[in-house]
Chain A
Amino acid sequence: MSSNMSGNRFDMTSVTTATAKPAGNPFWHDQRKRRIVGDVLSHLLLAVLAVIWVIPIVWVFLESFNKNPGPYNETFFPTEYTLDNYVKLFTDNHVLNFPRMFMHTFVISVFTCAISVFFVLCVAFCMSRMRFRFRKSFMNIVLVLGMFPGIMSVVVIYFILKSLGLTQGVGVTIALILVYSAGAGAGFYVMKGYMDTIPMSLDEAAYLDGCTRWQVFTKIIIPVCKPMLVYQALTSFLGPWLDFVMAKAIARTQDNYTVALGLYQMLSREYLNDWFARFAAAAVVISVPIAILFIIMQRFYQESMTGAVKG
């Protein structure tokens, strides 16, 4: 992230002058003082906001070590700390089996990630690099489809899966993978936008050399799209970890729960008082890898964003 600092070409030296009260003419015209006041004010603002932004995260982190397993404590931060919550989370499996949920979600996300990246790449490639009759209509149809609230069809998807016999046992895992990845092709817009910035002459040269579409796709476009590819892969990998509406409709027994469902369950009335601290621990456990993935993703994302808007 520090690489962005050096690239800062944006001069807004006096952005906060509007908030500084004009204290007579001499002060108003003194550039140096004005800048100092602006600096103090903006650093103050940033510091206050930073605290607001960090507090919930720090709170849940400390809460995960809280000795009192319930949600409501006398003080804002816990007073006694213990590692028990983490230990129990992974060993005490007969009510909510967290390790199992974790593995289940992991398997689902690996497959989802592979399938959706492939789908998105294929569709984006066709939309960006090929010209055929159905192209514009396809883009418009997808746009319109995207406006139907996804939650509306959750129930129907369950019935479709039921008629396919995918609502029991291993079927649920397959069903979740299908549900998360099958429609992925519709999310081609960002990837297409990125591919649009790759010069067409690159493809044309390759075709002249006798490359097939598939070769251009795998040997030229995919390598060039790497930043966006990583972004796409990580977002689709994260999907199953974050969704709970679909999972709730499809995984109806606790054997098939995903992590998000489990966490939601821990906060339901029956569980809350015994499980809140473990909820916090589980939140930390899944947040850490996601945060790491996110940091990787952000680097690629910014790279691709800045690449995509360069004139």
Chain B
Amino acid sequence: MEATVSPTKSGKRARRRPADYIPPSRYTIRGAAGQGDALTRLSFLVLGAGNIARRQIAKGVLFLAVEIAYIAYMAVSGVPALANLVTLGSRTQTKQKIDGYWYYDPGDNSVLLMVYGIAAVFITVLFVVFWSYAVRSAYKAQLLAAETGSAPTFGDDLRNITDRNGQVAFMALPVAGILVFTVLPTLIMMCIAFTNYDSDHVLLFDWVGFKNFGQLFSATGEVNATQFTSVLIWTLVWAFFATFLNFFLGLFLAMVINRKTTRFKGFWRAVFSLSIAVPQFVSLLVINQMLQPEGAINRLLIEWGWIDQALPFFTDTTWARVTVIVVNLWIGIPFTIMQITGILQNIPAEQYEAARLDGANWWQAFTQITMPYLVFVLTPYLITTFTGNVNNFNVIYLLSGGNPTPVGDTAGKTDLLITWLYKLTVDRGDYNLGAVIGIFTFITLAVVSLITYRSSASYKDEGGFR
């Protein structure tokens, strides 16, 4: 982390080396162990010893304080927390009558024990990282003291991490936020996939290994292989249609609006953006109300005499599936129009001019000029949209609620993996199964998007537009 080259130098280097190459630091743990003097080696045990000896008092004391704090934490609550992580608690909830009063012993709460335990693991990992940093810092102080006569002062260090190595100061808080509120929950949830934390084991549960994964592929049970495959296939079908229908119909509309002779262009765009301006969950809830058997749409159609009885928007499987895709078009197309309009206007007009002079018709111009350009610019966008659609909780949950749900099934016919997960965890309390499904959702997404994303032009060529 410590030796980032100055910007002018990095500019020169970038021209010769592969893009943004950074040489590895020479202050390594191995170096510290091999070439470090006694004080540096002492720092392996007593953090900051080397730094204090090189007159980096504040830094050394800070390192030592962190070490003491860590040891104190481990002694007081860390070690018990780790022990509890193994057993996940055993005391059940009990009540006892003493002197005519009921005394409640709440017993162990496995989830909380798990949170504390994994937090302890997390803190330990962070401490190891910190330890390695402190040891390397001691070694660095030794080398610099030998080379220049004195190690950098505390002030120098502060200036360094706020300026030349500004990333340390800039990213400390955001990264801490990500660690605590994204990484930690994800880790804990992944652990829950290996326990029997379900509606039967609300307070106390145990590790069960891969049993839940087996459950997902078993033939019977409230979550089984048939259901899982059908939900997975529908999720992929949905994501495919939701992404590509939106893209092509949106593209078509954007081009119709963009025609030279179309009047009131601003008006049409405004009309279509109106639905973006209304909060999505509001419009979804409203449309859900309108499409009820007794809702406004059915009323209207019956009033006009087009139908005799209410259309089964959310009660018939095929109807429900088509309905969610169509309503999603209503939601999504305006976004596509907005995106594509800007990009269409950026395609150099000369290219079309030249194509016309060469005698190309509109279809050739479309396939040879418009599409390649759009595909180049929008590939990352399409991938994100696909990912977003696999995880499109709102549209399904608020619109159809996953219905129609066959009697006895946990997943409805329009449920995606993500809404199924939500139902299993929040509604039914089967957190272990929910976690397993979450892991599978992740695998699905990772397979689809990492391959496409990493081979897309905009990832390989980050600075392409600079």
- Most chain-B Cβ atoms within 10 A of its Cβ — which of A2, A71, A213, A295? A213
Q: How far is the CA of A222 from the CA of B279 in the complex (A)?
A: 29
Expressed in whole angstroms, the Cα–Cα distance for A75 and B303 within the complex equals 8
Distance in angstroms from B199 CB to nearest chain A CB is 13
Asked if B283 is at the interface of the complex by the 8 Å CB criterion, the answer is yes
B 18-41 contacts with A by CB, 8 A: 20, 22, 24-25
Q: Which residues of A contact B307 (CB under 8 A)?
A: none
Q: Does A168 contact B (CB under 8 A)?
A: no
A10 touches B258 (CB 8 A): yes
Partner of A200 from B345, B442, B465, B466 at Cβ < 8 Å: B466
Question: Which residues of A sit under 8 angstroms from B124, Cβ to Cβ?
Answer: none
Residue B257 at the A interface, CB < 8 A? Answer: yes
Chain B residues within an 8 Å CB radius of A145: 178, 182-183, 186
Bound-state CA distance A33–B6 (Å) is 66
From residue 272 to 289 of chain B, which have CB atoms closer than 8 A to chain A?
272-283, 285-287, 289
Given contacts A53-B272, A207-B8, A13 and B259 within 8 Å (CB-CB): yes
Identify A260's interface contact among B174, B281, B286, B352, CB under 8 A: B281
Residues B281-313 near A (CB distance < 8 A): 281-283, 285-287, 289-290, 292, 294-296, 299-300, 303
B438 on the interface (CB 8 Å rule)?
yes
Separation of A122 and B6 alpha carbons in the complex (Å): 19
Chain A contacts for B356, CB-based, 8 A: 11
Contact B342 A305, beta carbon cutoff 8 Å: yes
Question: Closest approach, in angstroms, between the C-beta of B386 and any C-beta of chain A?
Answer: 11
Give the size category of B's interface with A: 35 or more
Whether A74 contacts B299 by the Cβ 8 Å rule is yes
Asked, given contacts A214-B162, A249-B426, A290-B279, whether A53 binds B466 with beta carbons under 8 Å apart, the answer is no
Instruction: For A287, list chain B residues within 8 Å (CB).
Output: 277-279, 282
Partner of A13, one of B261, B266, B387, B442: B261
Residues of chain B within 8 A of A59, CB atoms compared: 286, 290, 296
Decide: A122 near B266, CB < 8 A? Known: A15-B259, A147-B387, A186-B178: no
Q: How far is the CA of A185 from the CA of B445 in the complex (A)?
A: 21
Choose among B287, B418, B466 the residue that contacts A197 (Cβ–Cβ < 8 A).
B466
Against B, the Cβ 8 Å flags (1 = close, 0 = not) of A1-34 are: 1101101111111111110000000000000000
Q: Does B141 interact with chain A (Cβ within 8 Å)?
A: no
Residues of B within 8 A of A204 (CB): 7-8, 11
Residues on B with C-beta less than 8 A from A50 are 268, 271-272
Out of B8, B174, B258, B270, which one reaches A185, CB within 8 Å?
Answer: B174
A49 at the binding interface (Cβ < 8 Å): yes
Smallest Cβ distance from A293 to chain B, in angstroms?
Answer: 9
**How many residues of chain A have a CB within 8 Å of chain B?**
121
Chain B residues with Cβ below 8 Å from A10 are 255, 258, 260, 344-345, 347, 349, 352
Could you tell me if B425 and A147 are in contact, using CB atoms closer than 8 angstroms? no
Q: Check A45–B256 contact: CB distance below 8 A.
A: yes
Alpha-carbon distance between A310 and B183 when the two chains are bound, in angstroms: 36
For the complex, is B188 an interface residue (Cβ under 8 Å from A)? yes
Q: Is the interface of A mostly helix, strand, loop or mixed?
A: helix
Give the residue name and chain of the B residue nearest to A249 (CB): B426
B22 and A283 contact, CB distance less than 8 A: no
A135 to B173, CA, bound (A): 16
Whole-angstrom distance between the Cβ of B462 and the nearest chain A Cβ: 6
A39 at the interface (CB under 8 A from B): yes
Interface residues in A89-136 (C-beta closer than 8 Å to B)? 119-120, 122-123, 125-126, 130-135
Q: Quick one: closest B residue to A47, CB to CB?
A: B268
Q: Looking at B258, B282, B421, which has the most chain A CB atoms within 10 Å of its CB?
A: B282
- Contact mask A290-308 → B, CB, 8 Å, 1/0? 1100110010011001101
> Bound complex: CA of A156 vs CA of B190, how far in Å?
10
User: Of the 9-residue stretches B45-53, B55-63, B87-95, B111-119, which lies at the interface with chain A?
Assistant: B111-119
A154–B465 Cα distance when bound, in Å, is 38
**Bound Cα distance A208, B6 (Å):** 10
A174 at the interface (CB under 8 A from B): no
Task: Let me know if A60 is at the binding interface, CB within 8 A.
Answer: yes
Complex interface bits, A170-208 against B, C-beta within 8 A gives 1, otherwise 0: 000000001101111110000000001111100110011
Contacts of A244 in B (CB 8 A): 281
Q: A10-B255, A122-B174, A149-B442 are in contact. List 15 more A-B contacts (CB 8 A).
A: A38-B261, A43-B262, A73-B299, A131-B22, A132-B167, A148-B441, A153-B189, A154-B426, A159-B115, A179-B181, A182-B182, A207-B6, A213-B163, A242-B279, A283-B286
**Could you list which residues of chain A lie within 8 angstroms of chain B, going by C-beta atoms?**
1-2, 4-5, 7-18, 35, 38-39, 42-43, 45-46, 49-50, 52-54, 56-57, 59-60, 71-76, 119-120, 122-123, 125-126, 130-135, 142-157, 159-160, 162-163, 178-179, 181-186, 196-200, 203-204, 207-208, 212-214, 217, 238, 241-242, 244-245, 248-249, 260, 263-264, 267, 276, 279-280, 283, 286-287, 290-291, 294-295, 298, 301-302, 305-306, 308-311
**Interface residues of B, Cβ cutoff 8 Å to A:** 1, 4, 6-8, 10-11, 20, 22, 24-25, 111-112, 115-116, 119, 162-167, 170-171, 173-175, 177-178, 180-186, 188-189, 192, 253, 255-263, 265-266, 268-283, 285-287, 289-290, 292, 294-296, 299-300, 303, 330, 334, 338-339, 341-347, 349, 352, 356, 361-363, 366, 377, 387, 391, 393, 417-418, 421-422, 425-426, 431, 434-435, 438, 441-442, 445-446, 449-450, 453, 462-463, 465-466
Please, could you name 29 A-B residue pairs with CB atoms under 8 Å apart, sorted by A?
A4-B265, A8-B260, A43-B262, A53-B272, A59-B290, A119-B177, A120-B174, A122-B173, A135-B167, A144-B450, A145-B182, A147-B446, A148-B186, A149-B391, A152-B434, A152-B438, A154-B426, A156-B189, A159-B111, A178-B177, A185-B177, A204-B11, A214-B166, A245-B422, A248-B426, A263-B281, A283-B285, A283-B286, A305-B342
